[in-house]
Amino acid sequence: MKPLRVALLGCGVVGTEVVRLLREQADDLAARVGAPLELAGIAVRRPDRVRAGVDPELLTTDAETLVTRDDVDIVIEVIGGIEPARSLMLGAMKNGKSVITANKALLAEDGATLFAAAREYGTDLYYEASVAGAIPLLRPLRESLVGDHVQRVLGIVNGTTNYILDQMDTHGAGFHEALEEAQELGYAEADPTADVEGFDAAAKAAILAQLAFHTPVTAADVHREGITEVTAADVAGAQEMGSVVKLLAICERVPSDDGRNGRGVSVRVYPAMIPRTHPLASVREAYNAVFVEAESAGSLMFYGAGAGGAPTASAILGDLVAVARNRVGGTSGPVEVTYASLPVLPMGETVTRYYLQLDVADEAGVLATVAEAFAQSGVSIQAVRQEGLGDDAQLVIVTHRAPDAALSATVERLRGLDSVREVASVMRVEGDE
């Protein structure tokens, strides 16, 4: 077979690893694909920069020409961002090229346009590396579980925040101290906003929800809260409950009254307490793990390195082999369909549980007053603990599951009570009641 020619857009940490793997595993890849894979060119912004192991003759600043060249069969995009990545991928597919991308931000914002182009031009669009790095997660959702009814996807999909929260839990570090350590180790960017404010996890949640529920979901549909407000008191409160705080991405089908197809989906990202007995509680440092709950398959867990040059490049090479095999066989892989078109429900309608820590006046009747505030919102209390005396008097409360809007209304009522000096901590609780 004549070689299949590959164009690479971007040659940073991930792109350099892709080049290395293509070079070092050339013979194995050719055997697996049924044809050799060759680099046709690499589009970069600064061609004069030295890149170890990369042939300078392959570098070009003309990405538009590269993706439309007649001798290019497959385009790998690792430049990130919305533009010019979107235009380049659309141009490649219009010219019959298969596309592989790790661009979670673009897929979460405008994946529908890319999927429509893949259908229109009969090309492949693969993106395993966009969520959870090297963990094979999207393809099982896309192919292995396509005959099943996925009910819920729950997981840790951002290694930076998991490292920070793990340091706060295991070593008693404060948020800023743990963040600085994550930056020193290369787990966090100089500007960590995308990670610590939950934007990265929200983009991944949108991609997971769209695949799991065959319904259009964008990052704008995802309820998002970051970890910047998580305090040492929150972490200590979780420890007292036998729990740990994790930033969770949660995508779930909300059942209809008849319990059949569902009345919508809930997609959200926020820090939450989970029991230490839950498998996700043991996910340490910068690792990722995702639970998938399906009607027939039951509960499945995917665990591994969620970021980094080599892990991400591994996922890209997996897609490359699949796409190249399709080219050799004269076929194409599955294209996402959103036939279900279920509505994405607002956060207020989502049923959750709360953990609250209240600084209260040390006087008779406080508990009754607080309980009345919960009752007015229709929220049931699962457990309550009163501790401390005088200025240190506190109530620790865990609720039963209720609509999030009712729980939020309860918090506002509590803040208006004379007997509540401060609502010191509010956090959602996930896991079995």
Neighbours of 61 (CB within 10 A): 11
Residue 188 Cα to chain centre, angstroms: 16
Could you tell me the two tokens for 389? Answer: 């005396």
Residue 99 contacts residue 327 (beta carbons within 8 Å): no
Q: Which residues are catalytic?
A: 204
Neighbours of 172 (CB within 10 A): 12
The C-alpha torsion from 351 through 352 and 353 to 359, rounded to 10°, is: -110
Residue 108 contacts residue 344 (beta carbons within 8 Å): no
Contacts of 50 (CB under 8 A, 6+ apart): none
Between vectors from CA 106 to CA 103 and to CA 112, what angle results, nearest 5°? Answer: 120
DSSP 24: H
Between vectors from CA 163 to CA 161 and to CA 167, what angle results, nearest 5°? Answer: 115
Dihedral of alpha carbons 22, 24, 27, 33, sign:
negative
CA distance 95 to 251: 35
CA distance 49 to 13: 13
Q: Which helix (H) or strand (E) holds 125?
A: strand 125-126
CA distance 354 to 428: 4
Contacts of 48 (CB under 8 A, 6+ apart): none
Could you tell me the two tokens for 17? Answer: 């690893």
Between vectors from CA 300 to CA 295 and to CA 303, what angle results, nearest 5°? Answer: 155
Facing residues of 244 across strands? 274
On the question of a cis peptide bond just before residue 279, with omega within 30 degrees of 0, the verdict is no
Which runs of E-coded beta strand occur in 306-342?
none
